Amino acid sequence: MPFADLREFLAFLETKGELLRIREEVDPMFGIAAYIRKTSDIQGPALYFESVKGSSVPVVGGLFATTKRLLLALGAPDHAQAVRLLVESMENPIAPVLVPGGLCKEVVYTGDEVDLGKLPIPTYSSKDGGPFITMGVAISRDPETRIRNVGLYRLQVKGKRRLGLNAQQLSQQLYRVEAKNLGVPVAIAIGTIPELLIGSQWHAPYGVDELGFACAIHRAPIELTKATTVDLEVPASAEIIIEGTVLPKEREIEGPFGEFTGYYQPAVPKPVIEVTAITHRKRPIYLAGLTGMPTTDNHVLKQGSIEASYHLALKRNFPGVKAVHVPNCGGANFLLIVSMKKSQQFEARSLIAAAMSLAGPKYVIVVDDDVDVYDLEKVLWAVSNRSQPDEDVIMLPRLLGAPLDPSAKSRRTMSAMGIDATIPLDRPFPDMVEIPGIDKVPDFWRK
Ligand SMILES: Cc1cc2nc3c(=O)[nH]c(=O)nc-3n(C[C@H](O)[C@H](O)[C@H](O)COP(=O)(O)O)c2cc1C
Ligand SMILES: [Mn+2]
């Protein structure tokens, strides 16, 4: 649903009972994380921390701790329609619009005035290497093609003006130019409209500007304004903007960090950002987000975009694909469930082979289109009743795997297993039980 800024989304959530104010002082060192962990585990409300130890800036967290709030952000009545909206948005991008000025520049700090320590940046898990910015949308350009990239990457606070960077395509931009001693200017937007956060989660091919996707989710151009110290445009209504440059040929130890798998990612050398400006709205709000054992902000926020991109990739060759689910328990990554209307014997098996090549799904389950992929009990019912392990399980060793799999024998390797839980077409299958008149029962449980 189009929101003008984060504050509008928060006000909307408050009217739905989906945002709770915490008035007692909370410590950014583990305290905020503990609260978000708790609300995530009980599928509770997002939290507005009014009083944060050591900072005058309030913090919002757990915004995407539940799928319900992701659907509220998208204005989608259910999970399937949310994915449909995201698929349509990937196929029909909208360009952003440049506006003069912008609330995000109401207060400006540059050069020596910059101090990341003034922001209430939380430390999340006990062995984390320090405080991490986890919900900052990084905007940058390929220095040669000037094509924009938008991604959300954790940033470790390393000093008043220094951040550690653990990035995918932003790092690729750096690798392309650093031999010429060039850095990559970057702007990090914290506290944006939810559509931009969701849009940042499309792992699009290098050279695709994810802002087009974000604007399509927003159903209108997102307003951008010129950044202050870098040649980039930033979301005008963001709460906080951090500007800087990813430095060429510099690496520093980054991490450890408690990751979405529920395990730590160890500390290794990573690129570094030198911060040149912090700008913010008057009385800014800092947006925190938890990563850790499912389910957290990390899983819910990326889930829809991953499902939409898998849906597009698989549908191209398998037109019978109906729905795609990457459950949070699989890190919204390692486990993929697809429903399809099968028209050929073995079609589901071929789909499994295709899905295994997406370098993420380690387990792939395919069900018929009468099974709701978002209902894990029904999915496991189909596995239990419609498949035989000797015929319907496919195992492939030695494949390219997703990063961070704690069980991988070496980096980015995996084996994969598929279960074809669709009804075989080459032999009779029993009739499913049904009860006539179920559609005529009134909603007697509704008050
Ligand atoms: C809360 C959260 C934290 C994330 N942290 C990282 C990170 O530190 N590094 C990373 O590469 N991806 C991270 N991701 C996933 C990326 O944002 C996502 O894959 C995105 O599509 C990457 O954009 P890119 O393909 O343009 O690099 C995170 C996602 C979420 C929701
Ligand atoms: Mn990208």
Q: What is the DSSP string of 21-71?
A: EE-S-B-TBTHHHHHHHHHHHTT--EEEES-BTTBSS-EEE-TTSSHHHHH
- 6-297 topology per CATH: Pnp Oxidase; Chain A (2.30.110)
Protein residue with least CA distance to atom 25, ligand 1 = 203
Dihedral of CA atoms 312, 317, 322, 328 in degrees, nearest 10, equals -50
Ligand 1, residues 165, 246, 297, 302: which to mutate, most atoms within 8 A of Cβ? 302
Return the ligand number nearest the Cα of 137.
1
**Two structure tokens written together for 51:** 């009083």
Distance between Cα 151 and ligand 1 center (Å): 6
Question: What per-residue confidence (pLDDT) applies to 359?
Answer: 85
Q: Which atom of ligand 1 is nearest to the CA of 169?
A: 27
Burial 158-176 (b: 16+ CB within 10 A, else e): beebbbbbbbebbbebbeb
Amino acid at 303: Q
Q: What is the mean pLDDT of residues 362-391?
A: 98
Burial of 90 (0-12, 13-18, 19+ CB in 10 A): buried
Distance between Cα 168 and ligand 2 center (Å): 8
Distance between Cα 197 and ligand 2 center (Å): 13
Return the ligand number nearest the Cα of 200.
1
User: What tens digit of pLDDT does each residue of 333-348 get?
Assistant: 999 999 999 999 999 9
Burial 243-266 (b: 16+ CB within 10 A, else e): bbbbbbeeeeebbbbbbbbeebbe
Q: Residues near ligand 1 with C-beta < 6 Å? A: 134-135, 149, 151-154, 166-169, 200-203, 289, 291, 297-298, 301-302
Distance between Cα 203 and ligand 2 center (Å): 5
Bridge partner residues of 395 (DSSP): 417
Amino acid at 287: L
Question: What per-residue confidence (pLDDT) applies to 446?
Answer: 82
Q: What percent of the chain has pLDDT over 70?
A: 100
Distance CA 398, CA 421 (A): 24
CB count within 10 Å of CB 112 equals: 8
Q: Which atom of ligand 1 is nearest to the CA of 305?
A: 21
Question: What per-residue confidence (pLDDT) applies to 52?
Answer: 98
Bridge partner residues of 29 (DSSP): 123
Distance between Cα 14 and ligand 1 center (Å): 28
Q: Strand, helix or coil at 397?
A: strand
Bridge partner residues of 21 (DSSP): 48
Query: How far is C-alpha 183 from the chain's CA centre?
Result: 26
Where are the chain's structural domains? Answer: 6-297, 318-421
User: Omega before 228 cis (within 30°)?
Assistant: no
Protein residue with least CA distance to atom 4, ligand 1 = 153
The answer to whether 175 touches 166, Cβ cutoff 8 Å, is no
Q: Strand, helix or coil at 40?
A: helix
Protein residue with least CA distance to atom 23, ligand 1 = 151
Q: What is the mean pLDDT of residues 304-316?
A: 97
Return the ligand number nearest the Cα of 156.
1
Distance between Cα 318 and ligand 1 center (Å): 28
User: Residues near 280 by Cβ (< 8 Å), separated by ≥ 6?
Assistant: 104, 106, 107, 239, 240, 241
Distance between Cα 182 and ligand 2 center (Å): 20
Q: Which atom of ligand 1 is nearest to the CA of 135?
A: 1
Compute φ and ψ for 75, nearest 5 degrees: 65, 30
Query: How far is C-alpha 6 from the chain's CA centre?
Result: 17
**Confidence grade of residue 208 (pLDDT, cut at 50, 70, 90):** very high
Dihedral of CA atoms 72, 75, 76, 82 in degrees, nearest 10, equals -90
Q: Which atom of ligand 1 is nearest to the CA of 257?
A: 8
What stretches of 166-239 adopt beta strand conformation (E)? 184-190, 223-226, 233-235
**Confidence grade of residue 1 (pLDDT, cut at 50, 70, 90):** low
Q: What is the mean pLDDT of residues 146-169?
A: 98
Ligand 1, residues 137, 152, 261: which to mutate, most atoms within 8 A of Cβ? 152
**Average model confidence (pLDDT) across the chain:** 97
Tracing tokens 């990326």 back to the chain, one arrives at 302
Distance CA 99, CA 161 (A): 28
Question: What per-residue confidence (pLDDT) applies to 215?
Answer: 98
Return the ligand number nearest the Cα of 168.
1
Distance between Cα 310 and ligand 1 center (Å): 16
In CATH, what class is 318-421?
alpha beta
Q: Which atom of ligand 1 is nearest to the CA of 301?
A: 31
Distance CA 217, CA 253 (A): 36
Q: What is the mean pLDDT of residues 141-155?
A: 96
C-alpha distances in angstroms, 90 versus 147, 210, 360, 397?
Answer: 17, 9, 20, 32
Handedness of CA 226, 227, 230, 234 (dihedral sign): negative
Helical spans, DSSP H, in 141-209: 169-177, 194-199
Return the ligand number nearest the Cα of 212.
2
Distance between Cα 143 and ligand 2 center (Å): 14
Distance CA 386, CA 65 (A): 33
As a residue count, the chain comes to 447
Burial of 380 (0-12, 13-18, 19+ CB in 10 A): middle
The answer to whether 310 touches 201, Cβ cutoff 8 Å, is no
Bridge partner residues of 419 (DSSP): 365, 393
Distance between Cα 138 and ligand 2 center (Å): 10
Ligand 1, residues 121, 165, 168: which to mutate, most atoms within 8 A of Cβ? 168
User: What tens digit of pLDDT does each residue of 160-197 get?
Assistant: 999 999 999 999 999 999 999 999 999 999 999 999 99
